[in-house]
């Protein structure tokens, strides 16, 4: 049975997502069946570039279509809740770009809806499916690091002028845009909620955080020190330190192609190539999450063990906590969701 994808929006990340799938030689019987964008001309150009047979200029029409099984939601952050809800209500599985929602209440509402309708829903934390991450997890499980005591992650890119980052109406926030990568890495390593979170940040004129420093403390004396910066290019690597040694994930840690093991040896994990350029670094790796989605749907799973619903709720809770501490408030924070 083919897994038929519908692409919701024709933006840069949707381009990279589709390109990663179409160019991957071992994608199996996954197909990109349709695309929808509010601008039909843009959707038509997107479909032509990626050889997509069906074009819609209305998200509801795509949601109601019999041509797709699962939707990839690549719209702006403030639209994640309503658009994902639309597709779930129309019986479609969903892979929604991160962050899943603007806050915990919205995320909980969507996850409840997916469960009630017996549909698969996953937050697109693509890092979790990187071969490097899977290799790192094996080393941690094998005890090569001993007891984990310290995690340090930096993620900085000069994107403070980009609307999706600097405007509150667009769901702007450094911690929601790139900060989720550092948060998910700490959670990937420790696999438990921190007992204490301390965050400081700088806000722009729109009341949006553009710089954040976060310290998360865990039971057993574990600590994560995380830096997020939308102004500067940082050395975007991650380090995990245990009682027996350390492992380094080199830049770009959020989807790396090499790992420096505890013994200092370097292992490379090359990505597949494409004739069409990508917008973002190592976007070829986006395909690995689609393989997981297809696997879960075929096996009747409603969530992935690599980024389960409980993990998305933890990330949403952390994002809310950090926003509150640095002083970023959205109108939806005052609303109630079913």
The pLDDT of residue 3:
97
Q: Are residues 182 and 313 in the same domain?
A: yes
**Which tokens hold the place of 204?**
């722009």
Q: Which of 127, 159, 187 is the last residue of a domain?
A: 127
**CA gap 114, 312 in Å, rounded:** 13
Q: Are residues 121 and 231 in the same domain?
A: no
The pLDDT of residue 215:
98
Predicted confidence band at 231 (pLDDT cuts at 50, 70, 90)? Answer: very high
> For the residues 28-43, what does the mean pLDDT come to?
95
> Does residue 281 carry a pLDDT above 90?
yes
How far is C-alpha 115 from the geometric centre of its chain's CA atoms? 20
Query: For residue 81, which of 123, 49, 51, 45 has the smallest C-alpha distance?
Result: 123
The pLDDT of residue 305:
97
**Full domain range(s) for residue 197:** 131-268+308-334
Is residue 205 one of the residues assigned to a domain? yes
Q: Are residues 160 and 255 in the same domain?
A: yes
> For the residues 232-252, what does the mean pLDDT come to?
96
The pLDDT of residue 1:
76
List the end-to-end C-alpha distance of the chain, in Å, as a whole number.
34
**CA gap 64, 61 in Å, rounded:** 5
Is residue 282 one of the residues assigned to a domain? no
**CA gap 85, 67 in Å, rounded:** 18
> For the residues 312-316, what does the mean pLDDT come to?
98
Is residue 44 one of the residues assigned to a domain? yes
Give 58's contacts (C-beta < 8 A, 6+ positions apart): 36, 38
> Does residue 211 carry a pLDDT above 80?
yes
Q: Are residues 195 and 230 in the same domain?
A: yes
pTM of this prediction?
Answer: 0.96
> For the residues 49-74, what does the mean pLDDT come to?
97
CATH of residue 30 = 3.40.50.720
Q: What is the mean pLDDT of the chain?
A: 97
Is residue 303 one of the residues assigned to a domain? no
Q: Are residues 259 and 216 in the same domain?
A: yes
- As for how many domains the chain has, the answer is 2
Is residue 208 one of the residues assigned to a domain? yes
Tell me the C-alpha to C-alpha distance, in Å, between residue 147 and each of 41, 137, 190, 217. 55, 13, 10, 15
């Amino acid at each position: 049975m083919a897994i038929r994808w519908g692409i919701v929006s024709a933006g840069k990340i949707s381009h990279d997502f589709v390109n990663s799938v179409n160019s991957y030689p071992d994608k199996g019987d996954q197909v990109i069946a349709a695309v929808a964008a509010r601008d039909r001309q843009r959707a038509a150009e997107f479909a032509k570039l990626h050889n997509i047979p069906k074009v819609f200029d209305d998200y509801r029409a795509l949601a109601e279509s019999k041509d797709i099984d699962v939707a990839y939601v690549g719209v702006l952050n403030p639209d994640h809740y309503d658009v994902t809800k639309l597709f779930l209500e129309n019986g479609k599985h969903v892979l929604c770009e991160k962050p899943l929602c603007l806050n915990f209440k919205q995320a909980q509402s969507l996850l409840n809806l997916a469960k009630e309708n017996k549909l698969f829903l996953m937050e697109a934390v693509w890092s979790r499916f990187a071969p490097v991450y899977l290799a790192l997890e094996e080393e941690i499980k094998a005890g090569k690091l001993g007891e984990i005591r310290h995690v340090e992650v930096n993620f900085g890119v000069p994107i403070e002028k980009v609307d999706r980052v600097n405007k509150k109406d667009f769901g702007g926030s450094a911690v929601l845009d790139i900060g989720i990568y550092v948060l998910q890495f700490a959670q990937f390593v420790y696999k438990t909620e921190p007992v204490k979170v301390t965050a400081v940040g700088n806000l722009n004129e729109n009341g949006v955080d553009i710089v954040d420093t976060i310290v998360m403390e865990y039971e057993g004396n574990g600590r994560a020190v995380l830096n997020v910066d939308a102004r500067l290019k940082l050395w975007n690597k991650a380090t995990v330190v245990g009682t027996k040694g350390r492992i380094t994930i080199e830049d770009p840690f959020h989807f790396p192609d090499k790992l420096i093991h505890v013994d200092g040896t370097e292992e490379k994990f090359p990505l597949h190539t494409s004739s069409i350029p990508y917008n973002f670094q190592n976007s070829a790796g986006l395909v690995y999450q689609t393989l997981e989605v297809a696997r879960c749907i075929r096996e009747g799973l409603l969530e992935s063990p690599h980024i389960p619903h409980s993990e998305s709720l933890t990330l949403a809770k952390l994002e809310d906590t950090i926003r509150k501490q640095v002083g970023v408030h959205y109108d939806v924070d005052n609303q109630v969701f079913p």
